[in-house]
Structure 1
Amino acid sequence: WKFTDGTDVTANSFVDAWNYAVANAQLGAYFFEPIKGYAEEGVEELEGLEVIDDKTFKVTMNNPTADFPQRLGYSAFSPLPEVAFEDMDAFGENPVGNGPYMLEEWNHNSNALLVPNPDYAGDNAAQNDGLDIIFYPSQDAAYADLLSGNLDVLDQIPDSAFSVYESDLGDRAVNQPSAVFQSFTIGENLEHFGGEEGVLRRQALSHAINREEITETIFQNTRTPASDFTSPVVAGFSEDVPGNEVLEYDPEKAKELWAQADEMNEWSSPEFAIAYNSDGGHQAWVDAAANSIKNTLEIEAIGAPYPDFKSLRDEVTNRTIETAFRTGWQADYPGMGNFLAAMYGTGAGSNDGDYSNPDFDAKIREADAADSPEEAAERFKEAQTILFEDLPAIPLWYSNVTAGYSENVDNVVFGWDSVPIFTDITKN
């Protein structure tokens, strides 16, 4: 294999790139955490990476990691050519890769022209003459071009067209689950939500939310009600995780569970609030969920808007937030562990509710030590059963890919990561 600058892809192309990410604390560095030597502060080279020859390198892990082959598909693990390390900023302006396309022209904020890589040696060779990636100032403008035939593929339909795009496009409309999970989290430190009382109240809140109605009326069926804590597009997904009946809309069950919690410690909070960032288009569903809770449990339930994503995340990260808050996860790679361990493992970086259950942690370790992805999936399923008992987050729905394409192209398919498989697209 060769990079598009003509240089060879070697074992060092991977090892040097991975070491660079860790040594320079790049945002993707945490993906290398399982590799031996990562935990050492100020490390320049990971102990667990050893170049054997030009086409072979050895990776030694800190712990068994069954889904490591899945992780390798993520962009953090891509190789880099030698020219990248000469001037990383300059390389970012003129990137060189080893994939099916190569960059021919990049006009910032306007478009990027990609052409087939003549030296590409893989199985995903381009079935077209290249791609013109256009950067639109608004989704509405892109949708107008799609309808007029001036755009071939649009990967995100604007909210304003949710109610009409499927009739506008017919069988060229795309609406399918993606690797995005949405929820809201109630911190372990909030009054009334610790211990057994907290478990009962979380279960009551879950039963009080009509997910089917919200995804139909608010999202025009561009969301799919959740049945687990992962995503339908990842291997090992199951709709039949024991305990997931807690996601069913059941007002009577919700009232019963809330009353049981009141017998332990009568509800004394003036309101139950769900915080969200106003710049993310969340108000409608938060208000709908709050109204469902209010009407079912007869408590004051409201949305708590923050002006922007940063304002909300600052309070969540600093643990100063005093309400429930919206949460979610978009997969980095198509593995169940990426949804579960990162969100709910004790001390995990994205465990915003500070959930901790030794039994859950043990199941995650068992999954990581499994002999195969199939065995790991069973352990992850058992781990989710524990989550459904404790509900560290209230699962809501999976975000769908809402997209479309013109009459000028065929073979338009969206992958697990919500991105079109560009190499397969052909012109009519």
Structure 2
Amino acid sequence: MIPIRPAARAAAVALAVVTSLTACSSTGPAAPKNSPGKPGGSYSVALTEPDHLLPGRTTSSYSLQVLQGLFDPPAALDPKDGSVKPLAAVSWSSDDNIVWTVKFRSGTTFHNGEKVTAASFADAWNAAAYGPNAWDANYYFAQIEGYDALNPSEEGAEPTTRTLSGLKVLDETTLQVTLKAPFGQFPMLLSFPAFAPLSKAATANPDASDTAPIGNGPYQLDGAWERNQKIRLKKFSGYRGSRKPMADHVEFKIYTSRETAFTELQAGNVDVLTTVPAANSPQAKRLFGERFSIRPSGTMDYLGLPVKDPRFADPRLRKAISMAIDRKGITQAIYNGVYKPATSLVGDMIPGHRPDACGRTCAYDPAAAKQLLEAAGGFDGSLELYFSNADTTYEQWMTSVANQLKDNLGIQDVKFRKMAPADLSSLLNDGKNKGPFRQNWVIDYPSIQNYLDGLYYPGNRSGWSDKEFDALVAKGNALQGAEAISAYQQAEDIALRELPYIPLWNWQDQSAWSDRIGNVVIDPYAAGLHLDRVTVND
């Protein structure tokens, strides 16, 4: 996940494929068998080290998994069908889809006892939208009136205000939100963690709250965040929201690789692994049985290209790289055939997905790739490939890509730039990379638009922009149903023609858990594992 623009109404209301996980399936989760269970106890979750723990400051899925327990944003997505429902809010309404009135629950507090009010939400959104803060989720607020003033486009210009003109606190529990244009999907956007409230302490000192967050959710921090080791949560006794937690404690155990985490799961040292390595699929199926699940996923991997670098400016060169990559061979060798070679920019579970949108550009054709490279003038210098150390398969597939580029395109000087996820994210966001990079996208909600705006937002990591593309996305945002999807598909065609991001493969999510726990619910959105629902059996 990276900053995105909001989605069109119709494109995002479509059904999502996820749910309660109770049985092994190669095509999706089986019918729920979980019993409600009893409250109490503690369990552990395997996790990669987060970058931040302040809503608005992060879009990392590792961070969002922890925030899912610590904060209640205004809305939530139903894990069964992707529909939006109230959470910290009790209602929202609009007569024109421009001016929205959001009413919040009364009588709720932050973990420090401070009352949660409409102003708590306004303060959080203003902080995230304020350009100089440079928070990762900044562009999630671009739909709100006044965003442009907080993020002036002129080079060197500074905002003349620190607050969004489109936010007006009407009373202690009511916030009026004025958007720049009609947008019926606004309630779904409210489910993203960046829209959670901030306490006065967090607003005054966001750096301190980044490592010791003060939330309004069912769990609160239990002790200090032990970097690269663990994050402990405990049930918040003062919680008055709708997600009553079952377990008393949750411990996130930090691992540097999924393989290590899977070994720990087998040994009984951790209870939940939401991302079982694809190569371990047969073993996981055999060992965990009904406590192992393979589910359709909206997660995609891409190879991003820095198009402002003259060496990568020609779309023919970018297409040559794409056609030199054997997606099927890599997914078979490294992901045990679980992942699917990409033929589109979007996951195949998304309404409006076209199974061959990419055409020949995503087909393995070394001879054609070589011809395209020559037509583009070849490639000079060292080719640096950037990826994180969060998973050993990242280096494995990057090695395969490097070898294929050497063999098929004759690019012999290839160097790896492997680093921690947080360091890589910062480097890419700052545009300091000197070559292609692994780009992952985890859907926030089931919409083509979520991918298009998520990958190609202004100032995106590839540096690519196109006015026609932007106009088509905006057109889709203003339409409904099939017309909206058609506009998004036309925008996708432009992105595939220019290819700043090369689609590689569509994930299939695999999870496994110990027999100590039950009622495991995982969805493909920002919520991930629903921490509050898990029950402990002993």
For Structure 1 versus Structure 2, the TM-score category normalised by the shorter chain is 0.7 to 0.9
Single out whichever of 14-23 and 372-381 deviates more from structure 2: 372-381
Does 1:328 pair with 2:422? no
In structure 2, C-alpha distance between the alignment counterparts of 1:16 and 1:314, rounded to whole Å: 28
Whichever residue aligns with residue 109 of structure 2, its letter is F
Q: What is the distance in 2 between the residues matched to 1:26 and 1:111?
A: 25
The alpha carbon displacement at 1:75 in A equals 1.3
Q: Distance in 2 between matches of 1:385 and 1:64?
A: 25
Q: Given residue 165 of structure 1, which amino acid in structure 2 is its aligned partner?
A: A
The aligned residue for residue 521 of structure 2 is: 413
Q: Quick one: distance in 1 between partners of 2:248 and 2:370? A: 58
The residue that corresponds to 1:55 in the other structure is 173
Q: 1:294 to 1:237 in 2, by over 3 A?
A: farther
Question: Could you tell me which residue of structure 2 aligns to residue 299 of structure 1?
Answer: 410
Cα displacement (A) at 1:42: 4.2
1:166-207 superposed Cα distances (whole Å, 9 cap, x missing partner): 33323323444545432223444566765xxx4444334323
Pairs within 5 Å for 1:89-104: 95-99=213-217, 101-103=218-220
What is the CA distance between 1:95 and its match in structure 2?
A: 4.3
Secondary structure class of the residue paired with 1:355: coil
Per-residue CA deviation, residues 242-288 of structure 1 (Å, 9 max, x unaligned), is: 44453233x3xx524643674xx474446783522474543321231
Asked if 1 retains the 8 angstrom alpha-carbon contact of 2:373 and 2:379, the reply is no
Structure-2-length-normalised TM-score = 0.64
Structure 2: unaligned runs, 5 residues or longer: 1-104, 150-158
Say whether the 8 Å CA contact 1:174–1:403 is kept in structure 2: yes
The alignment partner of 2:505 has SS state of strand
The Cα of 1:103 is off from its aligned counterpart by: 2.0
Give CA-to-partner distance per residue, 1:273-304, whole Å, 9 cap, x none. 35224745433212312333454x45335642
Residues 1:271 and 1:116: Cα distance change in structure 2 (over 3 Å): same
Partner-residue secondary structure (3-state), 2:335 = coil
Query: Counterpart of 1:105?
Result: 222
Give the superposition deviation at 1:314: 4.7
Amino acid of the structure 1 residue aligned with 2:119: N
460, 468, 488: which one pairs with 1:350?
Answer: 460
Contact in 2 for aligned 1:229/1:395 (Cα 8 Å):
yes
1:72 aligns with 2:183: no
CA–CA separation in structure 1 for the residues paired with 2:315 and 2:206: 49
Root-mean-square deviation over aligned CA pairs: 3.7
| Matching residue's letter, 1:25 | N
Structure 1 residues 211, 93: CA separation in 2 closer, same or farther (over 3 Å shift)?
closer
Structure 2 match to 1:214: 330
Aligned residues: 409
Task: Name the SS of the counterpart of 1:135 in structure 2.
Answer: strand
Say yes or no: does 1:185 pair with 2:297.
no
Equivalent residue for 1:341?
453
Query: What is aligned with 1:246?
Result: 361
Q: Of the candidates 112, 115, 139, which is equivalent to residue 235 of structure 2? A: 115
- 2:385 corresponds to which residue? 275
Q: Structure 1 304/174 Cα, relative in aligned 2: closer, same or farther at 3 Å?
A: farther
What SS is found at the alignment partner of 1:164? helix
Question: Per-residue deviation at 1:406?
Answer: 0.9
Using the TM superposition, give the Cα deviation of residue 416 of structure 1 relative to its aligned residue in structure 2, in angstroms: 1.1
Separation (CA, whole Å) in 2 of partners of 1:407 and 1:190: 51
| Structure with the higher helix share, 1 or 2 | 1
Give the whole-Å Cα distance in 1 for the aligned partners of 2:274 and 2:264: 13
Matched to 1:166, the amino acid is: K
Sort the Cα spacing of 1:407 and 1:375 in 2 relative to 1 into closer, same or farther, 3 A. farther
Pair 1:190–1:398, CA change in 2 (3 A): same
Which whole-Å CA distance do the structure 2 matches of 1:12 and 1:84 have between them? 13
Tell me the residue number matched to 2:109. 3
CA distance in 2, matches of 1:358, 1:105: 48
Once residues 274 and 186 of structure 1 are traced to their aligned partners in structure 2, the CA distance between those partners, rounded to angstroms, is 11
Amino acid at match of 2:353: S
Moved more, 14-23 or 132-141: 132-141
Residues in 1 aligned to 2:291 and 2:231: alpha-carbon distance in whole angstroms: 24
Normalized against structure 1, the TM-score is what?
0.79
Cα distance change, pair 163–290 in 1 and its aligned pair in 2 (3 A): farther
Aligned partners of 2:144 and 2:465: how far apart in 1? 24
- Matched residues in 2 for 1:29 and 1:20: separation? 9
Matched residues in 1 for 2:288 and 2:133: separation?
45
1:73/1:375 Cα in 2 relative to 1: closer, same or farther (>3 Å)?
Answer: farther
Is contact 1:177–1:224 with CA below 8 Å preserved after alignment? no
Question: Counterpart in 2 of 1:29?
Answer: 138
Deviation at 1:138, TM superposition (A): 5.5
Q: 1:95 to 1:278 in 2, by over 3 A?
A: closer
Aligned-pair identity (%):
23
**AA of the residue aligned to 1:115:** K
